[in-house]
Chains A and B, each alone.
Chain A
C-alpha cells in the first residue's frame, strides 16, 4: 500500500482524473472530497464489503432448501391470487 501524509487542504491525484482532497480533520474523523468521473462508483468501504459478502453468501444455497422454502412463502400478491383458483 502506498502511504502518503497529507494536511487539510491537500490532496492526491489518481490516474489523472480522480482527485481526493482532505477537507477537514476534526475529532477523530477526516472529511474528504472526491472528484471523479460520473461513471466511477464510490462507496464507503464497509458498505461495499458488506454487499460483496452478502453476494458470496447468496451464492451458497442448496436446491433442496429452495424447493422447501418456495411454496411456503406467503406473498401479498399470492394472498390475493390464490383464493380465486
Chain B
C-alpha cells in the first residue's frame, strides 16, 4: 500500500489506502457528512460485508448484494444519479442494500433506499425509491 493511513474504529485499528475508498459525493441520507468508506475484507464466507467510514471512525455499515436474496430486484440509476456517479448509461452500476443487524439477530435489509455503486470510479449514492413496494426493513430469508 502506498500512502496508507490508519484509523481507530470501534472494531480496532484499520489500515487503508485513501485512493481505494468508496466515495459518496452526497454522503448517506441523514448522514450527509460521511463521504468516504473503506470496504472491509470479509473474514467469514457469506453474503454480508461491511464498510467503515473514514470520516467518523465510530460508524460502519453492513451491506449485501440484494440479488443474493431477491433475484428480481433491480434499480437503475436515473440521469441525476449517473451524473453524481460520473457514469454513462452503459456503465455498470450495482444496487447494494444496507443491512440492519439488531441484537436479536433478526436481520433486515433496506430495499427502499439502496446504495447505487459504480465500480468504474468507486462512487456511490444512496437513493430513495418512493412509490415502490419495497420496505426499509425487509427480512432476509431464513435458511
The closest CB in chain B to the CB of A44 belongs to: B130
Q: Describe A's contact surface by its main secondary structure.
A: helix
CA distance A38 to B32 in the complex (A): 19
Q: Is A77 an interface residue (CB 8 A)?
A: yes
Q: Which of A50, A63, A71 contacts B45 (CB 8 A)?
A: A71
Per the 8 Å Cβ criterion, residues 24-58 of B in contact with A are: 28-31, 43-48, 50
In the complex, how many residue pairs between chain A and chain B have their CB atoms under 8 Å apart? 108
Interface centre among A39, A63, A72 (most CB of B within 10 A): A63
CA distance A73 to B66 in the complex (A): 13
The closest CB in chain B to the CB of A77 belongs to: B68
The closest CB in chain B to the CB of A65 belongs to: B101
Spot the interface stretch: B88-96, B116-124, B133-141. Answer: B133-141
Interface bits B1-43 vs A (CB < 8 Å: 1, else 0)? 0000000000100000000000000001111000000000001
* Pairwise interchain contact B30-A58, C-beta atoms closer than 8 A: no
CA distance A73 to B69 in the complex (A): 10
Q: Is B75 an interface residue (CB 8 A)?
A: no
CB-CB under 8 A from B101, the residues of chain A are 61-62, 65-66, 69
Query: Taking the nearest CB of chain B, how far is it from the CB of A29, in angstroms?
Result: 17
CA distance A51 to B130 in the complex (A): 11
CA distance A66 to B48 in the complex (A): 8
* Pairwise interchain contact B50-A66, C-beta atoms closer than 8 A: yes
Q: Which residues of B does A touch, CB under 8 Å?
A: 11, 28-31, 43-48, 50, 59-62, 67-69, 71, 79-80, 83, 98-103, 105, 107, 110, 112-113, 126, 128, 130, 136-137, 140-143
* A-B contact list, 17 entries, CB within 8 Å: A47-B128, A51-B30, A51-B110, A51-B112, A54-B112, A55-B98, A55-B126, A59-B59, A61-B60, A61-B101, A62-B101, A63-B11, A66-B48, A68-B105, A70-B46, A73-B140, A75-B69
